[in-house]
Amino acid sequence: MLDYHLHLWEHRDAEVSLRTDQIVRYCERALAAGVVEIALTEHLFRFVQCEPIVAGLFDDEPAELAASMRRYFDHHARNDLDAYVEAAVATKASGLPVVVGLEVDHYRGRMDRVAELVAGYPFDVLLGSVHWIGAWRFDDLSDPLHMAEWPRRSVETSWTAYVEAIEETAASGACDVLAHPDLVKVAGRVPDAPEEWWERLAEAAASSGLAAEVSSAGWRKTCAEQYPALGLLERFARRGVGFTTASDAHGEDRVAERADDLRDLLASAGVRELVAFSARRSRSVPVEDPAGAKERG
């Protein structure tokens, strides 16, 4: 098993640093759970290098939501991407079972600039994700302003906007894996018949040659279900989409969380291999015995 979605800091934290002792503890906890490789995947918006991409992005959005997003980015964009990558590379070079990654969030109409930025760094794996639609942080369950938007919007319209953002992200070349691919269900709002959107998500991954993340994080959210839903996972598998596994932990206590449950879920869907990454090249990894990896090319 893998844990290919790990954060170093809670969202409430702003100015922070990557500490080797923290990564050592992450690795120890992962190995104890049968996870043999982890990916450090901090959000791109944590870093000052993202500021030019975000500038003016929300100017045409509703005033309250736009102001909230500006405060959000002002709070988080305090760290240096160069320093993060340098420290992560050093941690990997020390022999720890770590790959160097980043969570590349969606920026509407600007993903070409994101792709250009991340191409200048020695990343092993890049996660593509969508956490906001326009200036609406649809997954910020603790923010009343953003949660108040759910009753004002139809579920179908919200899912369509989310899938369009995933499609733009997938086609951009700025990522290797679709993180929590049906995150839009996080607040428990799901269409009566989600198959139409599932088909589009599966097509987005397959046509762009991306893997899809199977994450335990949804089990601790309102949706109370892993990402992706079983029906979507099965569609990914039928289209030949590879899988990573992840906890989306923001601290040591959740590293490799419910790894056994993810293993059982994959087995029930007939998935026997995961994909791991190095220098953005994938290799097959048996779910049960990742030590026997083989190069996929």
pLDDT at 14: 66
pLDDT at 176: 98
- Taking the C-alpha atoms of residue 252 and residue 241, their distance in angstroms, rounded to an integer, is 29
Dump pLDDT digits (tens) for 80-117: 999 999 999 999 999 999 999 999 999 999 999 999 99
First to last CA, the chain: 20
Q: Which domain holds residue 134?
A: 2-295
pLDDT at 294: 42
Q: Are strands 211-215 and 177-178 parallel, antiparallel or unpaired?
A: parallel
Flag residues of the chain having pLDDT under 70: 14-16, 289-297
**Torsional sign, CA 165, 166, 170, 173:** positive
Task: Return the CATH number at 155.
Answer: 3.20.20.140
pLDDT at 20: 86
pLDDT at 16: 67
Q: How many separate domains does the chain show?
A: 1
CA dist 241 to 15, 79, 93, 172, 230, Å? Answer: 37, 34, 30, 17, 14
CA angle (276, 29, 284) in 5-degree steps:
15
pLDDT at 9: 80
The two structure tokens encoding residue 220? 């601790």
* CA 68 from centroid of its chain's CA atoms: 22
pLDDT at 89: 94
Whether 147 contacts 141, CB under 8 Å = yes
